[in-house]
């Protein structure tokens, strides 16, 4: 830290993917999928709310929609940064939008890449500020690192590590997440894929972008302890 005495200034960046909201035609199919994935899928106001066991944060909501699609993305910022973000968005020429139907009105809503509605909202930092716990079998035990399927224990994700979004223009989307959201590039391959992290601390990537025909949610991923029952 420098002359800022431990404050976040002048760094202005989102610190977490606070929540993503995804529409699907059948919530029961989604419940089976995410429960099998090891998530705590709860009914909340007609939506399926996704939690990790033992963690209070709600990482995502799955809602009914005609087609499977990403509806909006809520990114977490520090309370001290809200006013600064208002100025920053104006300076960047970011388009402010009304909240999508069913979304909260708090925070700042922005038109994101590929037509994605993006919300900046004050939230507790939920992305990891330090590496996740790891546990590997010893390399010298003359056994593979991965157990056989019959011995594999149920996965229990600890937190949301990252999401990977499809984009029709990865370079343009990357510039949005860099210039407007404050994320930083971790790695990329041409204009095909880019991995971005938060300078406030996150895993290798908080958001990744992959070339496709347009917007989509490729996957969400969380860190697990292999031995967690
Ligand atoms: Fe991933």
C-alpha 84 to ligand 1 mean position (Å): 31
C-alpha 79 to ligand 1 mean position (Å): 29
Residue 214 φ/ψ, nearest 5 degrees: 180, -165
Q: What is the pLDDT of residue 228?
A: 43
C-alpha 29 to ligand 1 mean position (Å): 22
C-alpha 222 to ligand 1 mean position (Å): 8
Q: What is the pLDDT of residue 7?
A: 53
C-alpha 11 to ligand 1 mean position (Å): 26
Q: What is the pLDDT of residue 3?
A: 44
Q: What is the pLDDT of residue 175?
A: 98
Q: What is the pLDDT of residue 2?
A: 41
C-alpha 64 to ligand 1 mean position (Å): 25
C-alpha 114 to ligand 1 mean position (Å): 20
Element containing residue 216 per DSSP (H, E): strand 216-224
C-alpha 72 to ligand 1 mean position (Å): 19
CATH class of 16-125+155-224: alpha beta
pLDDT in tens, the chain (229 residues): 444 445 545 799 999 999 999 999 999 999 999 999 899 999 999 999 999 999 999 999 999 999 999 999 999 999 999 999 999 999 999 999 999 999 999 999 999 999 999 999 999 999 998 877 666 666 666 666 666 777 777 788 999 999 999 999 999 999 999 999 999 999 999 999 999 999 999 999 999 999 999 999 999 998 876 554 4
- Residue 175 and residue 94: Cα distance in Å, rounded? 12
Give the closest residue to 107 by CA, choosing from 93, 122, 117, 85: 122
Q: Check: CB of residue 91 under 8 Å from CB of residue 12.
A: no
What residues flank ion ligand 1 with Cβ within 5 A? Answer: 221
């Amino acid at each position: 830290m420098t002359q800022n005495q431990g404050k976040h200034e002048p760094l202005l960046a989102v610190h977490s993917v606070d929540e993503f909201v995804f529409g699907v035609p059948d919530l029961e199919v989604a419940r089976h999928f995410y429960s099998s994935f090891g998530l705590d899928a709860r009914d909340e106001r007609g939506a399926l709310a996704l939690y990790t066991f033992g963690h209070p944060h709600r990482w995502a909501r799955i809602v009914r929609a005609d087609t499977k699609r990403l509806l909006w993305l809520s990114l977490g910022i520090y309370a001290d940064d809200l006013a600064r973000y208002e100025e920053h968005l104006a300076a960047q020429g970011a388009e402010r939008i009304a909240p999508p139907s069913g979304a909260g009105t708090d925070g700042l809503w922005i038109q994101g890449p590929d037509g994605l509605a993006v919300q900046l909202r004050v939230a507790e930092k939920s992305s990891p500020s330090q590496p996740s716990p790891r546990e590997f079998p010893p390399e010298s035990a003359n056994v593979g690192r991965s157990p056989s399927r019959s011995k594999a224990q149920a996965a229990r994700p600890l937190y949301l590590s990252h999401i990977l979004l499809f984009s029709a223009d990865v370079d343009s989307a990357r510039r949005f997440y860099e210039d407007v959201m404050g994320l930083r590039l971790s790695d990329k391959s041409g204009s095909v894929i880019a991995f971005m992290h938060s300078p406030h601390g996150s895993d290798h990537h908080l958001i990744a972008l992959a070339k496709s025909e347009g917007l989509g949610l490729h996957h969400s991923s969380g860190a697990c302890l292999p031995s967690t029952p």
